[in-house]
Structure 1
Amino acid sequence: MILVDSSVWIDFLNARETPQTMWLKHALPRLSLGTADLVLAEVLQGTRTDRDFTLARNLLTTLDVVTLGGADIAIAAATHYRQLRTLGITVRRTIDALIAAYCIRANCPLLFSDRDFDPFVQHLGLRSALDIPGVN
């Protein structure tokens, strides 16, 4: 499974063409994609109309929705945060550390456009979905 971050879903639902949304559009009918419970909450709370809420909910709940919570992921996220901080890198959002920790632990690629995930790729082994050979 490939997890998709809210940064991509928001662009996708707003019909913004980016490398990530084009990848997603191509992958949706043919790959196993999922999202996280916290990503689902982020995307839905950002919708402006009932119609947008329903559209986003219907799309995202057709995917596997993984639960990020739990002590193991929380500890891994804090450990990753501290590792990056020792390198002089500040992780701006706890939710990003939780998503990255889940994906690293599950060896699950992440499709993202949020630059906050770049240090997790560069230093901690997070796999970017854009780097998977033969998918694009």
Structure 2
Amino acid sequence: MATPSVLPDTCAWIDFFRGRQTPLATAVEQALLNGSVVTCGVVLYELLQGIKGAKEENTILDAFQSVPVLELTAGLWIEAGRLAARLRSKGTNLPLSDILIATLAGKHHVTVLTVDQHFSAVPALSVTAG
């Protein structure tokens, strides 16, 4: 049986790259080892916009060489907009980046690895903190 895939949120990758001994970092490492990690453009963007130099950039890009990237289609942008509207109508406003991550994770049936509690507001989304 294949291991279920996880989509680590940016906070999980930051813990991993900084060598922190956290459940998130451990879960990212395990997912990398068993080939169950996926990512998306939003996470790559958030990581790269925070780099402090070429060494950090190379470390990040090297780590993602064999990680599948979930792509946003026009249809998924529409789903993301609808999700944001539904959540807002219930009083929950998630950042665009997290709406996109949640939409991709839901569409591809992967678990979001994060400590951001607001992901729990997304119906039927699988979320874990490691």
TM-score norm. by structure 2 comes to 0.86
Identity of aligned residues (%): 28
Supply the distance in 2 between the matched residues of 1:38 and 1:82 (Cα, whole angstroms). 20
Matched, 1:82 2:85: yes
The answer (yes or no) to whether the contact 2:12–2:113 under 8 Å persists in 1 is yes
Give the 3-state SS of the residue equivalent to 1:53 in structure 2.
helix
Match of 2:109 among 94, 102, 107: 107
Give the 3-state SS of the residue equivalent to 2:11 in structure 1.
helix
Deviations, residues 88-115 of structure 1 (Å, cap 9, x unaligned): 1111x11110110111122121112223
Q: Report the CA distance between 1:66 and its aligned residue.
A: 1.8
Match of 1:50 among 47, 51, 54: 54
Q: Tell me what 1:65 maps to.
A: 69
Supply the distance in 2 between the matched residues of 1:46 and 1:62 (Cα, whole angstroms). 21
Supply the distance in 1 between the matched residues of 2:7 and 2:64 (Cα, whole angstroms). 11
Unaligned runs of 5+ in 1: 131-135
Q: Report the CA distance between 1:129 and its aligned residue.
A: 4.3
TM-score norm. by structure 1 comes to 0.82
The answer (yes or no) to whether the contact 2:70–2:104 under 8 Å persists in 1 is no
Supply the distance in 2 between the matched residues of 1:72 and 1:78 (Cα, whole angstroms). 10
Matched, 1:11 2:15: yes
Deviations, residues 38-89 of structure 1 (Å, cap 9, x unaligned): 2112111211021111011100222111212x22111111111111112211
Q: Tell me what 1:126 maps to.
A: 125
Unaligned runs of 5+ in 2: none
- How large is the RMSD of aligned CA atoms in angstroms? 1.7
**Aligned-partner residue type, residue 53 of structure 1:** E
Number of residue-to-residue matches in the alignment: 126
